[in-house]
């Protein structure tokens, strides 16, 4: 009871602090746009020109920070002379969001990772009076530390520019900005006396840097070429300049205590602990060296790094670092844990007295047996109240704020994680994200200061991210069926009853997972190493999904010229074949167990010789589902053949073996044209052939023997150096229609 009262008092104290206008840094008032109103206005004008071409002249843009008197973003739109729309907002982000809201709800337009639909009416629809768009949330956070590896690792500037435009249109004002930090770490460690060989054993290859930064992984996929450092540093300069031009507040990296092994050579007296292996790795590539934050060397290294960060990148006074990410602390003593967070924070404030620590709350989810209330409170209270913001990282499924009295008084951001590993597959928790943020606002003594989107991988399920970003500007939950009906209208540009019903069915089924604590890893047998004990359960009613598939196919002739429609036709048909793969797997499994060779040959034959090849052809017909694009982007980062080959292997390994020996096998699985044919299909072919051989010879199936054989197939793909098309092949509609006519009757039969 005493803990509860104390927690409530802390929370009440923090709310009072937030509401005050005092100039000390116990508030978050100093986290605000640095660019001038004029520069932010120019940034939005440039965005509209990139997005709308000549039609951008129909909008008059103005940023006026005095429009908001409480740091909460607002945009006001009204009709002006000559059929133009005037948009005035408190920041560039507010103006961009306001204009996108107008484009969505007055012009039926749409912008997404998988294509745009920008058939804007001429002239622009007029507004009666003032359309006011505002948000109750101070911060709208975006990205996960893993997104940097699973999605944006190979991006060039045009792709980053497009993403930052998307952030602005969707209201993001607190983005993670982690690119290019390795070159600063290199400078720090070289200045301390480490040699290049020791650094080469520390940094991973590009596709695994997210876990290197968190202290999970070292050297694998490396060494990191010097040209990589130069390119990424240059890219970071452009990223930060553009983010700030919109009035965004980029989150920069800070020191968590992970150090190269060479530190123990240079400073043998330093209090360095070697941790246990991470995940399924051994100490060859894992087992981090952690410097105790109470050691004077921690302060020295941390301040050296942050000084470099601010010198090169400037600062907006907010930094992310994560202690104990999926790693167990040396002690559970609350005094120890408080001293750790206090030392980490003091390192920040020694360089930037205005520093705010943004911390991912994943550690409280990943190891709840360690992080009991006393331990959580100690770690959080090692930092003065209001000087840390916690990301409640997976709040749509496993919120932490509700079991910690609103993080015991520290401000927090309610985040939707949604995606693990950048996996393909339709998925959503629309009811949860539609209600969760509003529950967090109403929570007693809530210290909520924003909403966030923290997917491990992006460029999938665009509907979920459009809904989530829009909810940050809503005062109450939306009517989901009405919302998704309007989504279908603007995504495809015109109303169609079939498409409206299809999307309502999708929102009722595959996009509405209500299973408690469900994690969206693609668990389909299709993308996992075959065995006789695979997971086959799903969270939705397949009958509703198949109905949606049918309605989409029926509408296809009138919409197939739309890029957004073609993407959805591929994605929904892909999901149908994923479901059907599970059904054929069940038939294979039962045929083998019943020793029915003809049935095994039939089910296995259909899967290996027709369904999976058809899936590969379908995916290969759309530019958004191509392995060749991922590999080409990776290879293009290399300055010579050797580097291009290194990056190619990085890119292939991450989406398949994830480690030298499949340590995190298929965690980052993708359903892409080329990958299905040369990786998943080959595994399933070997599996079916092995089962047939076992039945034929009267032998049992031995998983360990099969694993050794299939590992050679998996490893062979990583190193095969084959070139894959980066341009689509075939007619999407014809392929999808053929698949539908062939497999829809079977799908209905399996429902009975």
pLDDT at 238 > cutoff 50: yes
pLDDT exceeds cutoff 70 at 13: no
pLDDT at position 325? 73
| pLDDT confidence of residue 328 | 83
Cα dist. 587→464, 576, 602, 605 in Å?
A: 33, 17, 9, 11
| Alpha carbons 643 and 500: distance in angstroms, whole number | 48
User: Residue 711: which H helix or E strand, with range?
Assistant: helix 703-718
464-505 tens-digit pLDDT? 999 999 999 999 999 999 999 999 999 999 999 999 999 999
CA distances from 150 to 20, 223, 422, 659 (A): 41, 19, 6, 14
Query: What pLDDT, on the 0 to 100 scale, is given for residue 327?
Result: 77
> Which residue in the block uniquely carries the two structure tokens 């090692």?
382
Residues 382-411: tens digit of each pLDDT: 999 999 999 999 999 999 999 999 999 999
Q: How high is the pLDDT of residue 1?
A: 37
Task: List, in sequence order, every residue forming a beta bridge with 673; answer none if it has no partner.
Answer: 626
* Segment 410-437 mean pLDDT: 98
Cis check for the bond before 289: say yes or no (omega within 30 of 0).
no
- Which residue spans within 13-137 are E strands per DSSP? 59-63, 74-80, 84-89, 110-112, 115-117, 131-134
In the chain, where the domains are located: 31-134, 139-478, 563-751
CA distance linking residue 286 with residue 215, whole number of Å: 8
Segment 289-317 mean pLDDT: 96
What is the model's pLDDT at position 2?
Answer: 33
Superfamily covering domain 31-134? Chitobiase/beta-hexosaminidase domain 2-like (3.30.379.10)
Would 139-478 and 563-751 be classified into the same CATH topology?
A: no
Residues 6+ apart with CB under 8 A from 729: 620, 621, 673
Q: What is the DSSP letter of 682?
A: H
Does residue 20 register a pLDDT over 80?
no
Q: Which CATH number applies to 139-478?
A: 3.20.20.80
List, as one string, the DSSP characters of 278-326. Answer: PTT--TTT---EEE-TTSHHHHHHHHHHHHHHHHHH---SEEE--TTTT
296-313 and 181-192 helices, crossing angle to 10°: 130
Model pLDDT, residue 382: 96
In the DSSP assignment, the letter for residue 369 is T
Beta pairing, strands 272-274 & 388-392: unpaired
Tokens 């499924």 correspond to what residue? 397
Average pLDDT over residues 29-36: 94
Count CA within 13 A, CB hemisphere, residue 65. Answer: 12
pLDDT in the model for residue 268: 97
Give the pLDDT confidence score for residue 310 in this predicted structure: 98
pLDDT tens per residue across span 43-76? 999 999 999 999 999 999 999 999 998 889 999 9
Instruction: Judge contact between 405 and 372, C-beta under 8 A.
Output: no
Q: Give me the helix-helix angle, 497-508 and 480-492, nearest 10°.
A: 130
Say what the pLDDT of residue 217 is.
97
User: What's the pLDDT tens digit per position in 698-728?
Assistant: 999 999 999 999 999 999 999 999 999 999 9
Q: Does the pLDDT of residue 10 top 80, yes or no?
A: no
Q: Please give the DSSP secondary-structure letter assigned to residue 608.
A: I
Question: 177 near 248, Cβ under 8 Å?
Answer: no
- 661-703 pLDDT, tens digit each: 999 999 999 999 999 999 999 999 999 999 999 999 999 999 9
Q: Do residues 219 and 203 touch, judged by C-beta distance below 8 A?
A: yes
Q: What is the mean pLDDT of the chain?
A: 95
pLDDT value at position 630?
A: 98
pLDDT at position 738 over 90: yes
What is the structure's pLDDT at 326? 74
- Lowest mean pLDDT segment, chosen from 24-28, 596-600, 611-615: 24-28
Residues 578-587 have pLDDT tens digits of: 999 999 999 9
Q: Which tokens in the block code for residue 455?
A: 């997917």
Contact by Cβ (8 Å): 302, 347: yes
User: Residue 15 — pLDDT band, cuts 50, 70, 90?
Assistant: very low
- DSSP-derived letter for residue 725 is -
Q: Of 19-23, 242-246, 256-260, 297-301, which gets the smallest average pLDDT? A: 19-23
Q: What is the pLDDT of residue 467?
A: 98
Give the alpha-carbon dihedral of 600, 601, 607, 608, to 10 degrees.
Answer: 130
- pTM, two decimals, is 0.95
Give the CATH number of domain 563-751; options: 3.30.1380.20, 1.20.120.670, 3.40.50.2300, 1.10.260.40. 1.20.120.670
What percentage of the chain has pLDDT greater than the value 90?
92
Pairing of strands 139-142, 448-453: parallel
Rg over CA atoms, the chain: 26
Query: Taking residues 620-631, what's their average pLDDT?
Result: 98
Q: Which helix (H) or strand (E) holds 413?
A: strand 412-416
- On whether the CB atoms of residues 526 and 581 are closer than 8 A, the answer is yes
């Amino acid at each position: 009871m005493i803990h509860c009262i104390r927690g409530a008092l802390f929370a009440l104290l923090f709310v009072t602090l937030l509401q005050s206008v005092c100039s000390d840094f116990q508030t978050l008032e100093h986290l605000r746009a640095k660019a001038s109103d004029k520069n932010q206005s120019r940034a939005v004008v440039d965005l509209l020109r990139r997005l709308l071409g000549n039609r951008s002249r129909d909008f008059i843009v103005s940023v006026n920070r005095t429009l908001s008197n409480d740091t909460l973003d607002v945009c006001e739109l009204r009709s002006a002379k000559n059929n133009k729309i005037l948009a005035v907002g408190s920041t560039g982000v507010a103006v961009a969001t306001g204009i996108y809201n107008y484009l969505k709800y007055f012009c039926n337009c749409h912008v997404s990772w998988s294509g745009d639909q920008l058939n804007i009416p001429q002239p622009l629809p007029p507004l009666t009076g003032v359309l006011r768009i505002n948000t109750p949330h101070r911060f709208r956070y975006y990205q996960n530390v893993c997104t940097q590896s699973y999605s944006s690792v190979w991006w060039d500037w045009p792709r980053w520019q497009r993403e930052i435009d998307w952030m602005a249109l969707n209201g993001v004002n607190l983005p993670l900005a982690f690119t290019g930090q390795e070159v600063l770490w290199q400078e720090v460690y070289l200045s301390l006396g480490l040699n290049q060989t020791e650094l080469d054993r520390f940094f991973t290859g590009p596709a695994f840097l997210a876990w290197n930064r968190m202290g999970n992984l070292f050297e694998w996929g490396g060494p990191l070429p010097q040209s990589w450092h130069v390119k990424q540093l240059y890219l970071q300069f452009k990223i930060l300049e553009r983010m700030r031009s919109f009035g965004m507040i980029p989150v920069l990296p800070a020191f968590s205590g992970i150090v190269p092994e060479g530190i123990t050579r240079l400073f043998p007296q330093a209090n360095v602990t070697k941790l246990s292996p991470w995940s399924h790795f051994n100490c060859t590539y894992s087992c981090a060296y952690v410097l105790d934050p109470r050691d004077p060397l921690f302060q020295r290294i941390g301040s050296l790094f942050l000084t470099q960060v601010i010198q090169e990148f400037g600062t907006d006074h907010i930094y992310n670092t994560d202690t104990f990410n999926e790693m167990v602390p040396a002690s559970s003593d609350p005094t120890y844990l408080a001293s750790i967070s206090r030392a980490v924070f003091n390192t920040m404030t020694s360089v930037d007295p205005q520093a705010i620590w943004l911390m991912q709350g994943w550690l409280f989810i990943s190891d709840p047996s360690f992080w009991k209330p006393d331990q959580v409170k100690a770690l959080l209270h090692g930092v003065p109240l209001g000087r840390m913001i916690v990301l409640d990282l997976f709040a749509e499924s496993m919120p932490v704020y509700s079991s910690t009295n609103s993080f015991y008084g520290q401000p927090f951001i309610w985040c939707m994680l949604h995606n693990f590993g950048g996996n393909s597959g339709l998925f959503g928790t629309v009811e949860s994200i539609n209600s969760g943020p509003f529950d967090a606002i109403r929570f007693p003594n809530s210290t909520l200061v924003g909403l966030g989107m923290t997917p491990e991988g992006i460029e999938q399920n665009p509907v979920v991210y459009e809904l989530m970003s829009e909810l940050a500007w809503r005062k109450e939950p939306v009517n989901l069926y009405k919302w998704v009906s309007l989504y279908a209208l603007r995504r495809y540009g015109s109303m169609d009853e079939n498409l409206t019903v299809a999307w309502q069915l999708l929102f009722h089924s595959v996009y509405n997972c209500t299973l408690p604590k469900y994690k969206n890893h693609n668990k389909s047998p299709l993308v996992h190493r075959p065995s006789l004990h695979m997971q086959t359960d799903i969270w939705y009613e397949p009958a509703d999904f198949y109905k949606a598939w049918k309605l989409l196919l029926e509408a296809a002739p009138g919409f197939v010229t739309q890029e957004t429609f073609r993407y959805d036709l591929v994605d929904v048909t892909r999901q149908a074949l994923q479901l059907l793969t599970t059904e054929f797997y069940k038939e294979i499994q039962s045929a083998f167990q019943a020793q029915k060779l003809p049935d095994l040959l039939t089910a296995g034959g259909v899967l290996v010789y027709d369904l999976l090849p058809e899936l590969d052809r379908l995916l290969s017909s759309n530019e958004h589902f191509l392995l060749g694009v991922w590999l080409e982007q990776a290879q293009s980062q290399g300055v010579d053949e050797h580097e291009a080959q290194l990056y190619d292997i990085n890119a292939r390994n991450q989406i398949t073996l994830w480690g030298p020996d499949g340590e995190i096998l298929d965690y980052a699985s993708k359903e892409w044209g080329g990958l299905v044919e040369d990786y998943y299909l080959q595994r399933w072919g070997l599996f079916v052939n092995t089962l047939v051989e076992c039945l034929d010879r009267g032998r049992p199936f031995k998983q360990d023997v099969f694993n050794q054989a299939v590992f050679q197939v998996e490893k062979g793909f990583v190193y095969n150096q084959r070139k894959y098309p980066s341009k689509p092949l075939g007619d999407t509609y014809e392929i999808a229609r053929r698949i539908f006519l062939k497999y829809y009757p079977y799908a209905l039969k399996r429902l009975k």
